[in-house]
């Protein structure tokens, strides 16, 4: 374990410090105008300004430090101007901690049949009502300024995994030009703007993108364009190649990659920030993450099971609800099922990150990683049990 460097780009407002290391894994502190974030950190996804199925009080109970909100969705509904009028995301939602907003690029580029790309930006139709809209780097910065998040993202082009090398190369070059325009258009000193590295699974394109983005002097960097259909091996080959190219004294964000195993593998490669819809989406679909693997609450074996989802978990759900009750609620399509299971899954993710941070401070991250990857042993001993029950 050794002390790292500190980057302070806005004294008294923002700072990022690497405080401890265990191998390549790092534990740090990201200070923002709305509070501190201990890293590595997982950011629950609140697409429309709220994490689905949870109240603010429940979200705070999980220990969430920073939330992610979606520029594209909030631009369309209720509109970024209205959010600004009501005090930005913090005033509008009441969440007191930091927010991060994405640029809107990923969502727009996922609307393949409804959008048209040119050098200036993207024209697209709303998935809500078919109305016409235009997103450019300048407009993305305007929207994110109105939303008022602490951490904001440069506008980028995210090609699908099926794109040809030529298509990926063109998108990567455009991302570099749009990063410069985003940097020039961004005005708020109370926001940190992150640049995004693209390039698909092509390591030479990733290297060129990283060099271009780093040269623009962003206070933080993200690795984007992953978890879009590539193999897991390709994901980690890209992260292995790109992470060392990013400045040591600035936060690194791996966008949209987030199974529990991914968190371990990302931290091992020096990543500081993560987001993913898995814990919340899977909860609504009846899948729980536990220390003994994934648990499908719909499974008939849980019909009369009095045990909590995870006996080692201290969350509200595990303190108060049995597997049998959760299964009943889920099959009956009761809203409470989504709330209780989302509360558990997010608690599991955030507890995992707390444990990871502590292991880095103690210099034993790789021991923890090996321990968490070891197949679970059923109660009472015996052969390793299944990862899904």
Distances (CA, A) of 12 to 31, 101, 124, 267: 9, 22, 40, 28
Q: Which two tokens stand for residue 195?
A: 């640049």
Instruction: For residue 236, count CB atoms less than 10 angstroms from its CB and return exposed for 0-12, middle for 13-18, buried for 19 or more.
Output: middle
Between CA 289 and CA 50 the distance in angstroms is: 21
Residues 6+ positions from 42 with CB-CB distance below 8 Å:
258, 263, 274, 275, 276, 349, 350, 352, 353
Which of 244, 207, 200 lies closest to 226, judged by CA? 200
Cβ neighbours around 81 below 10 Å, total: 12
Between CA 266 and CA 40 the distance in angstroms is: 9
**Active site amino acids:** 102, 275
Which of 276, 250, 252 lies closest to 262, judged by CA? 276
Between CA 189 and CA 85 the distance in angstroms is: 19
């Amino acid at each position: 374990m050794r002390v790292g460097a500190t980057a302070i780009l806005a004294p008294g407002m923002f700072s990022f410090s690497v405080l401890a290391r265990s191998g390549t894994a790092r534990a740090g502190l990201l200070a923002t105008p709305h509070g501190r974030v201990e890293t590595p950190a997982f950011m629950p996804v609140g697409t429309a300004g709220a994490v689905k199925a949870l109240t603010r009080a429940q979200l705070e109970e999980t220990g969430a430090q920073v939330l992610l909100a979606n520029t594209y969705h909030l631009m369309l509904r209720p509109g970024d101007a209205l959010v600004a009028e009501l005090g930005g995301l913090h005033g509008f939602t009441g969440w007191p901690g930091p927010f991060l907003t994405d640029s809107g690029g990923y969502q727009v580029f996922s609307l393949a049949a409804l959008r048209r790309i040119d050098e200036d930006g993207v024209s697209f139709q709303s998935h809500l009502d078919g109305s016409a809209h235009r997103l450019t780097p300048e407009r993305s910065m305007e929207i994110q300024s109105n939303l008022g998040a602490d951490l904001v993202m440069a506008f980028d082009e995210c090609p699908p995994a099926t794109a040809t090398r030529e298509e990926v190369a063109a998108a990567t070059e455009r991302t570099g030009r749009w990063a410069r325009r985003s940097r020039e258009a961004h005005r708020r000193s109370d926001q940190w703007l992150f640049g995004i590295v693209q390039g698909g699974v092509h390591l030479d394109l990733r290297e060129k993108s990283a060099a271009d983005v780093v040269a623009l002097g962003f206070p933080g960097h993200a690795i984007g364009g992953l978890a879009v259909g590539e193999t897991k091996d390709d994901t980690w080959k890209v992260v292995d190649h790109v992470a060392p190219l990013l400045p040591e004294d600035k936060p690194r964000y791996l966008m949209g990659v987030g199974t529990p195993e991914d968190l371990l593998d990302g931290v091992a490669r020096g990543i500081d920030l993560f987001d993913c819809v898995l814990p919340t989406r899977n909860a609504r679909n009846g899948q729980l993450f536990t220390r003994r693997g994934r648990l499908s609450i719909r499974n008939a074996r849980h019909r009369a099971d009095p045990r909590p989802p995870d006996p080692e978990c201290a969350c509200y759900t595990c303190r108060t609800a049995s597997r049998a009750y959760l299964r009943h609620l889920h099959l009956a399509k009761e809203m409470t099922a989504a709330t209780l299971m989302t509360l558990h899954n997010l608690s599991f993710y955030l507890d995992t990150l707390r444990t990871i941070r502590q292991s880095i401070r103690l210099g034993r991250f790789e021991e923890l990683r090996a321990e968490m990857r070891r197949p679970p042993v059923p109660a009472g001993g015996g052969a390793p049990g299944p990862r899904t029950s």
